[in-house]
Amino acid sequence: MSTNMDPSSSPTPPLKALTTDVYIIGGGPGGCAAALQLAKHGIRSTLIERAMFPRDKVCGDALSGKVMRTLERLDPALAARVNADAHRMPSWGVTFVAPGGKALRVPFSRETGIGEAPGAILPRLDFDAILFDAVKRNEHVQVLEGVQAKNYERTEKGWRISLVGNNLPTATANCQLILAADGANSAFARHVAGLPMEPKHHAAGVRAYYRGIHGLDPQGFIELHFLKELVPGYLWIFPLPDGRANVGLGLRSDHVRERRLDLKAELLRLVSSHPTLRGRFAHAELEGSVQGLGLPLASKRHPLSGEGYLLIGDAGHLIDPFTGEGISHAMISGVHAADVANEALKAARTDAPFLKSYDERVWKRLGKELTISTRLQQLAHQAWLFDFVVERATKNPALADTISSMFTDLDLRERLKKPGFYMDLVLGRKVKG
């Protein structure tokens, strides 16, 4: 039976020693994916989440095709529930706006508007709540909500964890494995696994919700504005139902420091004064405040496992260095972590050499595209290159089709590392895989 602790709504019985083979730290998409996959293996786990749900998470709110495919494999009914949510906006493509102001509209599919959209935008307040609710209902998962891990101690049998929570005395938990999915500011990753925060491999961002922005795409095309003031970062506008939109910007942390930027102030300044934005935001209303976020990027690889632990998603610095996407990588790594944990428990092996297979699986699945995205991030320094590519593509349907195909064809995207790709651009030829 699952134990769902809600200190804010009812008295919670005192916690005593809680022993479970696997403790999952964090109830975001990565932690939830791990819990659901462990349950499919028949393994009981305990998930601890410091917040009380529903809770907001500062994010761009975009759900890529990878997110939906992972959800469908975990639980088709859960994927259907996400697709049916009233706050979800189907997304059929992306519009790139080059530093010079020209725009390139790139569909995710050649059959835009037919069938299920390849992507979606859904506020994390809603998306995370759907996943977390599914975990709370799963009989193989004990959920400790409003509870935080304060200390981790290695023992002969695994881990001893000190837990604290609202209206709770300090409790002691014991387990063999820890799956750390506690996000970009993971205390476990920083203090136990030793992952550093390096400004060159970290991005800072801000996000706000607006209502009444003029010219939002009715087919949910997301907008990426590579403004001269932000390169190699960008400003995004992601449409939502009922005339709302998620608006934000992100920039690598070393550039933020060098330019001494206040990103919250910069977002407000750009939408009110930039020539390509001010008209669209003239009658828009800001809902709430501008919120900040940190993004540990996968432009540098770090170990994802160690003695008795696996790092999931943002805690493992798995955010795409070009797009800033983290949800799909959190869920994909969460599923792999659960699979490796299952094998480790069956083999009675939770040592670092055995768990290293987790790193291998994650990098085999994500490594190629993250390498390409790192290259794209490096190219993003060149504002002239964006202008050049967009200018060519708007005049050449074959080139525009090539760029569209790059969203689903990794082999084609890998051509970015080859000089011949740029010759094809110059000559206006369609790039072949």
Domain boundaries, the chain: 18-58+126-197+299-374, 90-116+199-296, 396-427
pLDDT higher than 80, residue 69: yes
16 against 378, higher pLDDT: 378
Q: What interhelical angle do 29-40 and 327-347 show, nearest 10?
A: 40
Q: Does residue 383 contact residue 231 with C-beta atoms inside 8 Å?
A: yes
Nearest to 130 by CA among 79, 205, 187, 96: 79
The pTM is what?
A: 0.89
Cα(276)–Cα(12) distance, rounded to whole angstroms? 53
Q: How far is CA 339 from the centre of its chain?
A: 20
- pLDDT for res 232: 87
- Tell me the mean pLDDT in the region 38-49: 97
Alpha-carbon distances of 428 from 23, 131, 423, rounded to whole Å = 54, 45, 8
Q: How many residues does the chain have?
A: 433
CATH topology of domain 18-58+126-197+299-374: FAD/NAD(P)-binding domain (3.50.50)
The pLDDT value given to residue 423: 52
CB neighbours (10 Å) of residue 317? 28
Q: Which fold has domain 90-116+199-296?
A: D-Amino Acid Oxidase; Chain A, domain 2 (3.30.9)
Q: How many other CB atoms are there within 10 angstroms of residue 183's CB atom?
A: 23
The residues facing 251 across adjacent strands are: 204
Q: Is the pLDDT of residue 15 over 60?
A: no
Q: Strand 168-175 vs strand 177-180: parallel, antiparallel, or unpaired?
A: unpaired
**pLDDT, tens only, 310-335:** 999 999 999 999 888 999 999 999 99
Chain centre to alpha carbon of residue 271: 25
Side-chain half-sphere CA neighbours of 59 within 13 A: 24
DSSP annotation string for 404-424: HHTTT-HHHHHGGGSHHHHHH
